Structure 1
Amino acid sequence: MTQSSAAPVSAFLRHHYRHFNAAALIDASDAYVRHLDQGGKMMVTLAGAMSTAELGLSLAEMIRQDKVHAITCTGANLEEDIYNLVAHDHYERVPNYRDLTPEQEQGLLERHFNRVTDTCIPEAEAIRRIEKAILDEWTAADQKGERYFPHEFMYRILLSGKLEQYYQIDPKNSWMLAAAQKNLPIIVPGWEDSTTGNIFASHVIDGNIKNVHTVRSGIEYMMYLAEHYTEVTKTASLGFFQIGGGIAGDFPICVVPMLHQDLQRTEVPLWGYFCQISDSTTSYGSYSGAVPNEKITWGKLGIETPKYIIESDASIVAPLVFALVLGW
């Protein structure tokens, strides 16, 4: 595959990334493109704090160009992309975060900053702006007896335009906004373990929200994913591009063995492509550190499934893979 001078990032990678994890990055990217070229679809899973790492700079364009067809992410990644959208100018970076004393950490707390590695999220400008907008949606749905998934509530506040006055980045760099405009399927397992989830729980406790089921649950997400996977794979192979580990990856990949073993839908195909970016040490008993072949025994991948693992920092690797897929 040749690259023109109009794609300088891809040309650089193809010239220099020839061995070891660098070569795995190229191989996985090329297989991603082949999967799409053959009519396949792709799910991307986001663990960690990739939204705070501003993955939207590349992921949003992947969504717009139909290189991503579904996303599974943690509740934190769902909300933190929108935090960045509305409060970017108020963030603070702490390059020497490894050297902070407990007293300095307390100082950040007293200034209402929540630290994610070297990046401090401003509570008032980010979290509370979202709270007002989403509380209105929760309350309206609660009063009408309606129920929506966490990502659907986020889509509603984004598409309503309520937050536009607060935008502090170019909106084309928000992957959540791109997803909302595409109505992209999003799965958010464990949403309760997020700032927005905590806020929802507090409003139920206070009685502002009467029905705790106004926000649909993780079990319902699995049921939704089962039907979505079954329908999509009637006409296309669905691939799995995993960024990090944890629940964002483990939850959705399990849908295939569930369909086969628990629902007896044995005609449903296995995942058609698999790649994981992980800095977890390969080890016994670790999901994030398991090699892809282990997933064969769980009925998730097959012998012929293209399988890749790139052992590196996802904040470095994921944008490079996306650059190759996009032809940048």
Structure 2
Amino acid sequence: MDIKDNMSVLELVEQMGKSGVLGAGRMYRATKLLADVIQDEDTAVFLSIAGPLVPGGLRKIVRDMINDGLVDVMFTSGANLTHDLLMAFGGDHYRGIHDNDEKLCEQGMGRIADLYTKSEDFEVFEKEITEILSKISQKEKNLTIREFITALGNSVDDESSILYTAAKKGVPIYAPGMIDSMLGLQLFMFTQDHEFCLDASGDMHELSDKVFESKKVATVILGGGLPKHYALASNLLKGGVDAAIQVTMDRGETGSLSGAPLEEAKSWAKAKAGSKLVTVVGDATIIFPIMVAGAREMISKSD
């Protein structure tokens, strides 16, 4: 690889492409594939994000991709929804180093590696989300999870918010494990004295329609878990996805879904025979910004 002064991100990624099947080579192929599927009008891009990627700095990158029409469907965890809303309500994630978690708890601080949340921000979150739930439940007593997330997006006023932008752009967000989060906890508490119910299986009708309406589907998977499986399995009845990019730090030896190689999905008909698959092993908060910047530059140069 030839590194020069004042290189652009794309120039760096193209140099990485000279390193064969190692990590740098995978980075190039994933970036190229991302640019290809984004530019293909026949391909719907399904973005799956798991782990603390909103606290980890990807909030605006994902928001901008949705706003610019680069994402057609999104899958995520309840935690990322919670942290997006926390920031929409004026809260934040704070950087620092601390070696005493018991003391952090006493100080009302929650830790995510070297990032921190404040209990006072979550107190605002609880107040705001309860008011929003009250307004939503006055209009609807039964919603699918996707419909509920869209209603949340329509209830906040923050142009930097993923939920806000997805609602305005008509991009559906699916979060089948949403109840396993602070947002889910607040919903549970709200339903103790309010009539309101979420229909989890109802999302599958709409999601299946989107899969069958799409000529081709490409999944972009950051992390693993339930969002990864939902993004892939939703395409099972159509024979699988046509392309997929996976960024993960998990390993496949344990048989876990999160670390499973994308090629394994072919055995389940979650990825088609002949599908284009690229896995990059590493931290998505490092890899994905470079990948997106490189893909955007590729697209810009091809226009």
Q: TM > 0.5 between the two?
A: yes
Amino acid at match of 1:64: N
Q: Are 2:180 and 1:210 equivalent residues in the alignment?
A: no
Quote the residue 1:238 is aligned against.
Answer: 217
Q: Are 2:178 and 1:191 equivalent residues in the alignment?
A: yes
TM-score, normalization: structure 2? 0.86
Quote the residue 1:317 is aligned against.
Answer: 287
Superposition pairs of residues 273-312 of structure 1, within 5 angstroms: 273-312=243-282
Q: Give yes or no for contact 1:189–1:218 (8 Å, CA) kept in 2.
A: yes
- For residue 33 of structure 1, report the CA deviation from its aligned partner: 1.7
Q: Are 2:197 and 1:219 equivalent residues in the alignment?
A: no
Whole-angstrom CA distance in 2 between matches of 1:16 and 1:274: 20
Q: Give yes or no for contact 1:277–1:313 (8 Å, CA) kept in 2.
A: yes
- For residue 200 of structure 1, report the CA deviation from its aligned partner: 1.1
Quote the residue 1:265 is aligned against.
Answer: none
Whole-angstrom CA distance in 1 between matches of 2:78 and 2:111: 17
Partner residue of 1:48 out of 43, 48, 51: 51
- For residue 300 of structure 1, report the CA deviation from its aligned partner: 0.8
**Cα distance change on mapping 1:17 and 1:94 into 2, 3 Å:** farther
Q: Are 2:29 and 1:27 equivalent residues in the alignment?
A: yes
Q: Secondary structure at the match of 1:136?
A: helix
Q: Give yes or no for contact 2:74–2:172 (8 Å, CA) kept in 1.
A: yes
Superposition pairs of residues 103-252 of structure 1, within 5 angstroms: 104-125=100-121, 127-150=122-145, 152-160=147-155, 163=157, 171-172=159-160, 174-205=161-192, 207=193, 209-211=194-196, 213=197, 216-231=198-213, 233=214, 236-252=215-231
The farther-off stretch of 285-294 and 65-74 is: 285-294
Decide which structure has greater strand share.
Answer: 2
Deviation by residue 1:132-156 (Cα, 9 ceiling, x = unmatched): 3332332234344433344544544
Amino acid at match of 1:255: S
Q: Secondary structure at the match of 1:42?
A: strand
Amino acid at match of 1:282: G
Whole-angstrom CA distance in 2 between matches of 1:202 and 1:91: 25
Q: Give yes or no for contact 2:152–2:163 (8 Å, CA) kept in 1.
A: no
When the two chains are superposed, the root-mean-square deviation of aligned CA atoms in Å is 2.5
Amino acid at match of 1:203: F
**Cα distance change on mapping 1:68 and 1:144 into 2, 3 Å:** closer
Structure 1 runs (4+) deviating above 6 angstroms are: none
Deviation by residue 1:205-251 (Cα, 9 ceiling, x = unmatched): 3x1x123x1xx2332223331222122x2xx3111110001111012
Q: Secondary structure at the match of 2:142?
A: coil
Whole-angstrom CA distance in 1 between matches of 2:190 and 2:53: 28
Q: Secondary structure at the match of 1:148?
A: strand
Quote the residue 2:60 is aligned against.
Answer: 57
- For residue 38 of structure 1, report the CA deviation from its aligned partner: 2.8
Stretches of structure 2 that go unaligned for 5 or more consecutive residues are 299-303
Percent of residue pairs bearing the same amino acid type: 20
The farther-off stretch of 66-75 and 77-86 is: 77-86
Q: Give yes or no for contact 1:62–1:68 (8 Å, CA) kept in 2.
A: yes
Whole-angstrom CA distance in 1 between matches of 2:93 and 2:36: 39
Whole-angstrom CA distance in 2 between matches of 1:315 and 1:67: 19
Q: Secondary structure at the match of 2:129?
A: helix
Q: Give yes or no for contact 2:248–2:284 (8 Å, CA) kept in 1.
A: yes
- For residue 283 of structure 1, report the CA deviation from its aligned partner: 1.1
Deviation by residue 1:30-74 (Cα, 9 ceiling, x = unmatched): 112222333212011010010111202322221122111111000
Q: Give yes or no for contact 1:43–1:68 (8 Å, CA) kept in 2.
A: yes
Q: Secondary structure at the match of 1:61?
A: helix
Quote the residue 1:263 is aligned against.
Answer: none
Q: Secondary structure at the match of 2:242?
A: coil
